[in-house]
Structure 1
């Protein structure tokens, strides 16, 4: 039974680390959009 808990914990960790990359990427896109808006005016990328 403890082996199953270890496998589930590793799966959860992998899923959370994948989501973290998506969140960081989305944050970078928002910052890039703001920079483009500041430099060029208009509504930027989005």
Structure 2
């Protein structure tokens, strides 16, 4: 389990409060964390 703290403007876009917890399959890299985040919150793609 990975915890991600989004800046306020991205929390508003994703409509979340506080930390986001993500499950990352395989090796944890910055790219895999971003992929998991964008998969769970499609509105954050490309931001």
Q: Same fold (TM over 0.5)?
A: no
Which structure is richer in relative contact order (CA contacts within 8 A, separation 6 or more)? 2
TM-score when normalising by structure 1: 0.33
Larger Rg: 1 or 2?
Answer: 1
Q: Which has the larger share of helix?
A: 1
TM-score when normalising by structure 2: 0.32
Q: Which has the larger share of strand?
A: 2
